[in-house]
Structure 1
């Protein structure tokens, strides 16, 4: 019998879809999906064992607590501020995708499980709301519809999109096996990446704007100027192949911020960039979960010096403790944005309310390993009965107010896992810095780095 030519491609398509579904289902069923929490404080752990434990238990936030439909990271572990139970965060999911890679390499889960969960996230994003290729800050994890972040912030958030794609581009470099699941991950990440219209967010000016809404247009009018957590946004915008921004946007926009150049000393420590005392410590974390600061320089700063010194200043302030808050000291430091006894706040030396946030010191392991380990041991061995939980450390605490958060936030938990791993192995830094968008963006903006040298012949010129 002569074969039906129309039926053949349909049969092949059905077979391919079935194979992908079977591979994904098999990977998810490979082991028990849950990771058992270690709630009892364990004594006599080596430093490596303690780091393993912190990474593994903190990872439960993204694995066991990940949204069941989308796989994305929930905004927070409680339902404060009327967020509801379906809110997932795009930026936090970027950190979560990186955390899944760490978990696979550390054997907390299998590579197959990691790939299956990542594919679930990417498949969901492929169908979710986007605006000129950019995603909103929050999505409904069940439907993919936008959840308004603030009154007029109900559309694209280009900064959260940058944090998301820092993770997704890292994943594209990691999932390189030739099988249906990993092939699909790479293909869809590439399509999503190429759809982002970075130049749309300039409004035809030498400046990136944070938000755009189909209902409110540019009403937020939030210019992205330095220096803060948003460096990765300009690098990825410059690294795009289809809709890039040029170097002048970086020079006239980011580098002209009111708090960009600093050059002062605090506690006899030089701070090249940023506001007085550096600001909250997440400035040294969010853009640098993938972006490798080791040897990274441009005409304005050495970013390893910037991040290390910012961290040292933050710690020195806590030791100095000019406001005499209870508990501050050499092993109990770290001011950054988090929940507090009075609501969410961006804690820093110039905005200090007696709240220590564990992610501040723990996500700074690459910059201050000795001091971060001191803080970790204090948080776990000395204060673990109050700070340690099923998802790692609680978000924040204040001994001054005898207050301990009941919450965890994706944007605080993710950097703990990722930055500890960057300290231990450089895993996420090495993966992201192989990504052509990262290479292109850095070179177009005039950065130098040891990681860039071998890629110079492949860079796409502006």
Structure 2
């Protein structure tokens, strides 16, 4: 599992070109939170989460910072670190902002064009971007000693967003069409088949010009990385074949399981988390664009059931609360990777998940970004936060990690990869916006067919 954190810095003095005032002018009017309807609450949390990528973006690249700390506790030398995958989620968040008129369409086009121009000049490694990039220079920021080159998974998260931007603006005015063309060129430049390490029937996560393939991380299911195979299959010039998907991702079909939890089938073997299904970001990252509704392949009859069951198992686990943490309930639940409270009271990081790494900490993006799968349960969580736990809410929406168990502890901090899934997944629940954009893209449709996917919802067979 790759989802870990870096250190970066932001200050209110470094707000980007469109100010908080501009953003909030278009948001739902402030009123006592107990009087907000469900739709108004969803508007509020979506527009709040948008601020992470609009107001608090890295000022030169205008991409998403790895993290933002309201408490201003981090070293100055990381203030320009941007995150590739989280920025992909940010592209989709900006689209939500445009579609809901939280931000001006013309300003969004201007910003997205600036982002595309920055990414075109940034370091690339056989077309793939690195996990972290210096927002001032476009140069790679090593994620680890040997992780100083291409990161195929983070790149897949980024180009998932690029496809949505392209589809959203491709029939617009001249400036919008130019933006769509830039995004199209960028995504088509990724050499997915290079990352098979000389033609092996599996994709590899990393390649470094210094260390080559020494990271040696094959992408095998099941976890958050499915979208990487979809994008690789969809590439017009650097595509993978069906065998690479089948032998690599599905392990020749051996990643399926008959295991159930709380009477709910798991369908696949979630890596290192076969009993409960793992942290909830596995049901979110690949599915901001990829629509799981009536989506199937040779081994999974309906990806919707797979994802909904994983979320429902997490919910039922929190209700069971076998470790007896204070506060877990039908309106306070959700375990996924994010910040955590260390034993000494400081802030750390953990892959929160049922039983295996349940530390008494609830990460709000888990339930909020599960809105399509568990709308009633996720809405109860959303309303609870905004109406009963306002101390868990900051400038860019719910803070990354909270705990009633530890005397209403929270960390006044955000992570791009967590905040970036909230607005898109809630919008997919409300209108299917990102799902429709992504699934109707001609290259994506061709790629899905190539590796044996079918979608009754989008007429792909």
TM-score under structure 1 normalisation? Answer: 0.88
Matches for 1:236-275 after TM superposition, within 5 Å: 236-256=231-251, 260-273=255-268, 274=270, 275=274
Q: Whose helix fraction is larger, Structure 1's or Structure 2's?
A: 1
CA distance in 1, matches of 2:410, 2:314: 21
CA distance in 2, matches of 1:415, 1:41: 26
For residues 346-365 of structure 1, give each alpha carbon's deviation from its aligned partner in whole angstroms, at most 9, with x where no partner exists.
11112111110100000000
For residues 15-39 of structure 1, give each alpha carbon's deviation from its aligned partner in whole angstroms, at most 9, with x where no partner exists.
xxxxxxxxxxxxx789965546989
Q: Tell me the equivalent position of 1:287.
A: 286
Q: Tell me the equivalent position of 1:322.
A: 322
For residues 121-163 of structure 1, give each alpha carbon's deviation from its aligned partner in whole angstroms, at most 9, with x where no partner exists.
1111011110000000010111111101111101100000000
The alpha-carbon deviation at position 269 of structure 1 amounts to 1.3
The alpha-carbon deviation at position 57 of structure 1 amounts to 1.1
Quick one: which of 154, 157, 161 aligns to 1:163? 157
Equivalent pairs, count: 427
Contact 2:89 2:421 (C-alpha < 8 Å) held by counterparts: yes
CA distance in 1, matches of 2:303, 2:263: 18
For residues 435-461 of structure 1, give each alpha carbon's deviation from its aligned partner in whole angstroms, at most 9, with x where no partner exists.
1232122111111102442x67xxxxx
Contact 2:204 2:219 (C-alpha < 8 Å) held by counterparts: yes
TM-score under structure 2 normalisation? Answer: 0.89
CA distance in 2, matches of 1:223, 1:43: 48
Residue 447 (str. 1) matches residue 441 (str. 2): no
The alpha-carbon deviation at position 179 of structure 1 amounts to 3.3
Contact 2:280 2:310 (C-alpha < 8 Å) held by counterparts: yes
Q: Tell me the equivalent position of 1:348.
A: 353
The alpha-carbon deviation at position 259 of structure 1 amounts to 8.8
Quick one: which of 29, 40, 55 aligns to 2:46? 55
The CA RMSD measured in Å over matched residues stands at 2.1
Change (3 A) 1:40 1:351: farther
- Structure 1 unpaired stretches of 5+: 1-27, 457-462
Contact 1:35 1:64 (C-alpha < 8 Å) held by counterparts: no
Quick one: which of 353, 370, 390 aligns to 1:364? 370
- Structure 2 unpaired stretches of 5+: 1-16, 343-347
Change (3 A) 1:317 1:30: closer
Residue 149 (str. 1) matches residue 154 (str. 2): no
Q: Which has the larger radius of gyration?
A: 1
Residue 413 (str. 1) matches residue 419 (str. 2): yes
Quick one: which of 115, 118, 134 aligns to 2:112? 118
Q: Secondary structure at the match of 2:296?
A: coil
The alpha-carbon deviation at position 177 of structure 1 amounts to 4.0
Contact 2:246 2:253 (C-alpha < 8 Å) held by counterparts: no
Q: Tell me the equivalent position of 1:69.
A: 60
